[in-house]
Amino acid sequence: MTKNYDLIVLGSGPGGYVAAIRASQLGLKTAIVERENLGGICLNWGCIPTKALLRSAEIFHNMKHAADYGLAAEKISADLDAVVKRSRGVANQLNKGVTGLMKKNKIDVIMGDGKIIEKGKVAVKTEKGDEELTAKNIIIATGARARDLPFAKADGKRIWTYRHAMTPPEMPKKLLVIGSGAIGIEFASFYNDMGADVTVVEMMDRIVPVEDEEISKFLEKSLKKQGMTIMTGAGVKSIETTAKGVKAEIEDNKGKKASHDFTHVIVAVGIQPNVETVGLDELGIEPDERFHIKTDAMCRTNIDGIYAIGDVTGGPWLAHKASHEGVIAAEAIAGGHPHAMDVNNIPGCTYCHPQIASVGLTEAKAKEAGHDVKVGNFPFIGNGKAIALGETEGFIKTVFDAKTGELLGAHMIGAEVTELIQGYTVGKTLETTEAELMNTVFPHPTLSEMMHESVLDAYERVLHM
């Protein structure tokens, strides 16, 4: 029997399930098709469980430095299995939460593999057999998966993707992380805090290369101080698994090749969209040069009635972008007039130690775009709350247009900056200038005062430095 809907959503990640909820709120009869777990990769194998792992590592790090706070902690140890068990428990709890939201919003959930077989029609292979769904509108939210290296296929034993790294069969003694984007650096930070000897190899000339250059340099210095080996401008040429681990040939930034031994490898060299089995070719949906689906400002593809959101589309590939796109698509389908997303107002967060957060243009990108800039910096060491917390490592940087005072970008590194960045994100969305930020009263004592001081510094009015 064919089931008829106003909207079918393929994929239940942070884009898909949010789109389904918003569509239901707007009165659309909605179905969501999911082949694995409600909540998608982010909730089950990405954003959330990795933060649970990193929280355990953070506490373990602080326990080892208890004496810095006038405390004593003896015979400190970590149980990796228990840490992973807690992480999986967090993911399972949130998975149940999404299940509850689907029921609350009267959204039909069909578990199985969905494929668009023609415009307005989806075939789903389920455990009980095939189902056919129809709808005037379809949202593709099938996400992405880890990109493999041709010579380093993940086996779950010695060569890991992020998914293997979240449920490791054992604690790595000597870990190679290939790639220094958010995923690579977060796992490098986690395993380093847990006691592994970590080496990070990045082909670009600096780690976290999408971030402001000052942030990259500061993070590299911090990670090296923590004991990591960082190799930039370098590449892994081959990997051979052995009885004891892996042997990797690495070419450094001077062109010199050398063989290195590791117990495990994490490959974190980007993602590729899940588009192969959705039915794009049959429909004539256009991909970009990296095979992500092309969309317009309202998340529409080139085929009427078919939308795409999240990691299956262009970057930045972030869960909160996917969720926002889900709302935009649902409202556009329902006949509303949603605001198009400005990618310059999407914050990015990396939960390494120390944390990184940013929004808008880097200083270099602002100058490339033709702006005359004013730049402010303020260090954590100048903030009373940071000193009281024992978290004096880091700084906050703001970039303004010198002529108009427009806030072009903000870049942070240090404790809890992933919680602070939203202040600047709201400011950018409201098209604020330095005047509004200067005249805003920031509470004392808080880390947020550094945001104020950074703005003041850009205009030579800094107070506490």
Q: Mind telling me the catalytic residues?
A: 444
d(CA 429, CA 410): 13
Distance in angstroms (rounded) separating the CA atoms of residues 270 and 140: 20
Beta 264-267 vs 257-262: how paired, if at all? unpaired
Distance (Å) of CA 329 to CA 134, 340, 389: 18, 10, 43
Q: Is the dihedral of CA 365, 366, 372, 378 positive or negative?
A: negative
- The C-alpha atoms of residue 306 and residue 333 are separated, in whole angstroms, by 10
| 235 beta partners | 251
For residue 65, which amino acid is it? H
- For the chain, first and last CA: distance in Å? 71
Buried b (16+ CB within 10 A) or exposed e, 62-100: eeeeeeeeeeeeeeeebebeebbebbbebbeebbeebbe
What are the Cα distances from residue 459, in Å, to 50, 362, 372, 379, 434? Answer: 39, 18, 14, 16, 9
- Identity (one letter) of the amino acid at 296? D
Selection from 378, 453, 363 nearest residue 413 by Cα: 378
Helix (H) or strand (E) holding 454: helix 449-458
Q: Interior CA angle at 164 toward 181 and 266, to 5°?
A: 40
For 293, the token pair is 């689906």
